[in-house]
Structure 1
Amino acid sequence: MSMAGAGPEAVPGPGSARLRCTRHPFREPPMRAPFMMQLFVLSVPLFSAPAWAVEHCSFQGKPINLDNGNSTANLTGTVRCVDEDTKKETRTVAFKNGQQDGWEVRRWSDGRAIEQEYKAGKRQGGFKRYEEGRLVETSHYVDDNEQGEMLRYYPNGKVSRRVDRQPEDARSTYADYDEAGRLTKAGCGLRTSWEAGLKDCVWKGPSPLVFFHPNGQKRAVIPLKNGKRDGVTELFDKDGQRTATNAFSEGLLHGVTTRYADGKALTSITWVKGEREGDETEFFKDGGKKQVITWQKRQQVKLVEFFQNGERKHELVVTGDRAVESSFEDDGSLRERKNLIRGDFHNGFDPDGVTETFLPDGGPASREHYVKGKAEGRRQIWAENGTLIEDSQWSKGHVTERKRWNPDGGLVEDEAFYEDGSRKKKQ
C-alpha cells in the first residue's frame, strides 16, 4: 500500500475540516513497510490541528473556497490561507490554468512545515519536511511518484538515511548512517532488499565497505572488487570480537565461511558460486569436530557425527536414492548398520535390504531384511553369549513363522501366523 496518494486526512492542517481542497495532496511523513499501516494511524495526530482552528483562504484579496473545484477552474496565481485566530499564514498554493503548478507550502504553529512542488496538477519536483523549524527530510517526485534522491537528517544536521529511488525497485539504493556519519547499513531495493555488494547490488563507494555498530565499533569489513564483495569479509560484535568470516567472489559466497564464539570456530561451510559444495562442519567448544555434512550439487551426500573423544558416533552415506546408515560406540566399534532407500512419499529414507546390529565383541546381535520400509524375509536375533534366540520369517511387515530359544538353547516357541497376527492352530 503506497501512502504517496493518501488524501489530506493523512496530513490535516489547521482547520482540517475546510482543507480537503487539494486534488493532489501533500506527501505525508515518510513511512516504510512492513509497519506502514500502523505508522499511518500514528501520523494522523502528528499533523492534526485543534478542532476549533479555522483557516481562511483568499486569492488577490478575495475569499476563495478551495473545496469548490469551480472556484479554481481557471485560476492562475497563488492562493494564501491564514489562521482565523492568529492571522498567521498557514498555507500557500500555486495554480496555473486551474491546476496546481509550483510550490504548495503548509505551516503549523509548532514549527512543522511541508513544501511540495507541483506541475500541471501532479507532484513534480522537490519535497521538504520540517519539524520545529528544522529540515528533517528532502525528496523528489516525478509524475506524482517519489523518484530520485531522498535524504533524512538527524537533529545535528547530518544525514541519517539516503535513498536513490528508481522506477525499478531492484535498482533503488539506500544507505543508513549514525549521528557521527558512520555507515550502518546499505543496499539495493526498498521492498526486496540486498545488502551492498551482494548479488547484483553494486556499491559505488570505496573498498573496503565498512559498517558500524551504534557504539562506533566496526560491525563488518567487506572488501570489494568492481562494487561487489570479493575476498574475505569479517564480522564483529559490539565489543570488537570477531563473529564470522565469509569468503566471496563477484558478490557470491565462494570459499569457506566460518562462525566464531569467544575466538573459537563454531561452524564452517564451503561454498562454490553461492551454493554449498563440500564440507559443512560444526565444532565442539574444545575445537574438535562435532558434525560434518558433505554437500554435492545442493544435496547432502554424507553426514558424520562425532563423540567428543573424536570417535564416530553416527554416519549416513548417500549414493543416489540409496544410503547406508551406521551407528557406533564411543570406542569406535560398530553398533548398527542399515541399508536404506529414499522414501516414495517423503524426503527421508526407509530401511531396504539388510539391517544389522552387533554385540560389544563384534558378533551379530540381530539381522533382518526389509523392502521399502517393511520387514520381508528372515529375521535372526542372538543372545550376548552368541546363541541364536529367534529365527523368524516376515512378509510385508507381518511375521509368518517364528522360532524362539532361551540362551541355553532350549526351544520355547515354534509358531506360524496368519496375516492378522493370529497363530495357526497346530494339527
Structure 2
Amino acid sequence: MFGRAQRLAFIGAWLVGAAGAAHAIQDCELDGAPINTSNGNTTAGKTGLIRCKDRDSGEVQREQQLQNGVFMGLVRYYEKGKLLKEHSVNAKGNMDGRAREFVPATGQVLRDALYSDGSEVGLVRGIYPSGQLRRLSFASSEAGSSGERAYVEYTERGQLSALRCADKPVLAPVIDDSKLCGFASAGTPSQVELFDGKGTLRMRVSYAAGKRVRNENLYDNGKPQTQDEIVGNQRTERRFSSEGVKRREVLWLLVERGAVKQREQEFSEQGSLVRDQRWTAAAEPLIDDSFYLNGQPRSKSVYAGTGDARTVDMAQFHDNGQRSMQGRYLAAGRSSRQMPIGTHQSFDDKGVLVAESVYDDKGRVTRERAFDENGKLQRDDEVFEDGSRKAFAK
C-alpha cells in the first residue's frame, strides 16, 4: 500500500492537470480494470499505466505510471484528447527527469526542462507556439549556486529582450553566451541590444566576464533615459530627460560590502549644473555647491575637521555673483542640524557689508552689528542669554 504523502502528491497533480475541467468526472482504470486512485487498496502492490477519462466525452485526460503500488514514472495530461504536458516523478513524488509542455492542437513543444528530485537542472527551454525560442535558462542544483543562474529571452520577432549572465558560459550549445557575456574577448566588454515586443530598441547592455558593467535604458524616441556604468572600482549613474539632456549624475565608490556615494550632480532642463555635492570615502560630506540658472553660484558649503570638531563654512550669493551671506557652523555627527559659531556676515547685492552677528561655541548670538548702504556702522549691540541687549561699549 502506498503512503499518504504519495496519494496527496498524486491527487495534487491531478488537480493541477484537471484545472480546465474542474467539474468533469473522471473514470480511471489500470490495465483495463477500474480503480479508485483515492483508495490505496485498489492500487496496492500493482504495476502498470493508469489512464483516466472524462465520463461524458470518453476523452483521455490523464495517464500515470504505477510501480508496485507507488505512483512513480511518467505522468501525462491531455486536453481534448491531445497531449498537454508530460513529466516523470520519483518515489518521493518529486519531478525527476524530462518535463515538457505542448500546444495540444499542433504538438509544438512550449517548454522543455530537466529535473532532479524536484529541482530544475541544466538548460530549460521556453518556446513560442510558432516554434521560435522564447526563453533559455540554465539552472543548477549545486550547493552555493542552486537555482537559475543565467538566461536569455527573445521576442516573437527573434530579437533579444533580456539577458542575465553567469560567472562562466553555461547556455551553449543553444546560445553562445561566451560572446554575449563578454567571455570571448579578454578585457573587452560585450555590446548587446535588447528590444521590446514591438521591435523597439529598449536597452543597451555590456558584460565583461559575466558581470554587467554598463546598461542604458532608452525612451520611445531612442534617446537615453538612464545609464549605469562600472569602471574599475567606480560606478556612475546618469538620468536624462526625454530630450536627451542629462539631469542627474551620481558617482559611487565600490567597496567590499556595497557602495559609498562620492559625488552627486543635478542639472537643469537646459543642462546647466544646479547642484554639486561631494563626500569622502567614509561617506562624510565634503562639498555642497548650488548654482543659479544663469551660471552664477547660489551657495557654497565646504566641510573640514573630524568628529565633534567637524565644521562647515557656508556662503550664499546674489544672482549677480556677489556674496549675500557667509558663516561657519558646527557639523558634528550625521544630523542635518548645524550650529552657528564665530562671525556671520550679510551683504547687499553690491557686496557691501550690511549686518554681522557673532556666536559663541554653544551657538548663542553674543553681538550684532548693522551697517548702512555705504558700509558705515549704524548699530553695535551686545546680546545676552535672555535676548536682551545693550550698545556695545566703545
Residues 355 and 368 of structure 2 are in contact (CA less than 8 Å); yes or no, is this contact kept in structure 1?
A: no
- C-alpha distance in structure 2 between counterparts of 1:282 and 1:229, whole Å: 25
Equivalent position of 1:337 in the other structure: 326
Equivalent position of 1:388 in the other structure: 378
Deviations 1:54-84 (A, max 9, x none): 1111112221111012332322211111111
The reply on whether 1:286 has 2:286 as its aligned counterpart is no
Q: 1:87, CA displacement in angstroms?
A: 1.5
Deviations 1:360-409 (A, max 9, x none): 4421413131545x4253333445564434613233xx42x31379xxxx
The reply on whether 1:182 has 2:159 as its aligned counterpart is yes
- C-alpha distance in structure 2 between counterparts of 1:257 and 1:170, whole Å: 32
Deviations 1:314-338 (A, max 9, x none): 1111124321121110111111123
Residues 285 and 303 of structure 2 are in contact (CA less than 8 Å); yes or no, is this contact kept in structure 1?
A: yes
| Residues 9-408 of structure 1 mapped to structure 2, 5 A cutoff | 22=10, 25=13, 47-49=19-21, 51=23, 53-109=24-80, 113-120=84-91, 121-133=93-105, 134-167=108-141, 168=145, 172-187=149-164, 204-206=178-180, 207-230=190-213, 234-249=216-231, 253-254=234-235, 257=238, 259=240, 261-273=242-254, 275=259, 279-297=263-281, 298-319=283-304, 320=306, 321-342=310-331, 346-360=335-349, 361-371=351-361, 374-382=363-371, 384=373, 386-389=376-379, 391-395=381-385, 398-399=386-387, 401-403=388-390
Q: 1:176, CA displacement in angstroms?
A: 2.2
Equivalent position of 2:170 in the other structure: none
Deviations 1:255-275 (A, max 9, x none): 685746424333334444475
Closer, same or farther in 2 for the Cα pair 1:93/1:171, shift >3 Å? closer
Closer, same or farther in 2 for the Cα pair 1:246/1:61, shift >3 Å? closer
Closer, same or farther in 2 for the Cα pair 1:265/1:345, shift >3 Å? closer
- C-alpha distance in structure 1 between counterparts of 2:316 and 2:254, whole Å: 34
* AA aligned opposite 1:136: L
- C-alpha distance in structure 2 between counterparts of 1:278 and 1:344, whole Å: 18
* AA aligned opposite 2:323: L
Q: 1:85, CA displacement in angstroms?
A: 1.6
Residues 334 and 362 of structure 1 are in contact (CA less than 8 Å); yes or no, is this contact kept in structure 2?
A: no
- C-alpha distance in structure 1 between counterparts of 2:40 and 2:69, whole Å: 9
Equivalent position of 1:16 in the other structure: none
- C-alpha distance in structure 1 between counterparts of 2:342 and 2:16, whole Å: 69
Closer, same or farther in 2 for the Cα pair 1:178/1:288, shift >3 Å? same
* AA aligned opposite 1:393: V
- C-alpha distance in structure 2 between counterparts of 1:345 and 1:287, whole Å: 31
* AA aligned opposite 2:347: F
Closer, same or farther in 2 for the Cα pair 1:63/1:212, shift >3 Å? same
* AA aligned opposite 2:339: D
Residues 21 and 66 of structure 1 are in contact (CA less than 8 Å); yes or no, is this contact kept in structure 2?
A: no
Closer, same or farther in 2 for the Cα pair 1:214/1:80, shift >3 Å? closer
Equivalent position of 1:196 in the other structure: none
> What secondary structure sits across from 2:204 in the alignment?
strand
Residues 77 and 94 of structure 1 are in contact (CA less than 8 Å); yes or no, is this contact kept in structure 2?
A: yes
Closer, same or farther in 2 for the Cα pair 1:318/1:171, shift >3 Å? farther
> What secondary structure sits across from 2:41 in the alignment?
helix
TM-score scaled to structure 2, two decimals? 0.76
5+ long unaligned stretches in structure 2? 167-176, 181-189
* AA aligned opposite 1:105: R
- C-alpha distance in structure 2 between counterparts of 1:143 and 1:287, whole Å: 57
- C-alpha distance in structure 2 between counterparts of 1:111 and 1:279, whole Å: 62
Equivalent position of 2:184 in the other structure: none
Closer, same or farther in 2 for the Cα pair 1:368/1:359, shift >3 Å? farther
- C-alpha distance in structure 1 between counterparts of 2:344 and 2:368, whole Å: 10
- C-alpha distance in structure 2 between counterparts of 1:180 and 1:393, whole Å: 78
Residues 88 and 96 of structure 2 are in contact (CA less than 8 Å); yes or no, is this contact kept in structure 1?
A: yes
Residues 152 and 161 of structure 1 are in contact (CA less than 8 Å); yes or no, is this contact kept in structure 2?
A: yes
Equivalent position of 1:413 in the other structure: none
Q: What stretches of structure 1 move > 6 A for 4+ residues in a row?
A: none
Residues 246 and 258 of structure 1 are in contact (CA less than 8 Å); yes or no, is this contact kept in structure 2?
A: no
| Paired residues, number | 353
Closer, same or farther in 2 for the Cα pair 1:171/1:141, shift >3 Å? closer
Deviations 1:213-244 (A, max 9, x none): 333233333343323345x6554323222345
Q: Percent identity?
A: 21
> What secondary structure sits across from 1:22 in the alignment?
helix
5+ long unaligned stretches in structure 1? 1-6, 9-18, 30-45, 190-202, 406-427
Residues 115 and 121 of structure 2 are in contact (CA less than 8 Å); yes or no, is this contact kept in structure 1?
A: yes
Q: 1:160, CA displacement in angstroms?
A: 2.3
Q: 1:49, CA displacement in angstroms?
A: 1.7
- C-alpha distance in structure 2 between counterparts of 1:87 and 1:110, whole Å: 9
Closer, same or farther in 2 for the Cα pair 1:266/1:152, shift >3 Å? same
* AA aligned opposite 1:267: R
- C-alpha distance in structure 1 between counterparts of 2:48 and 2:271, whole Å: 77
- C-alpha distance in structure 2 between counterparts of 1:330 and 1:324, whole Å: 20
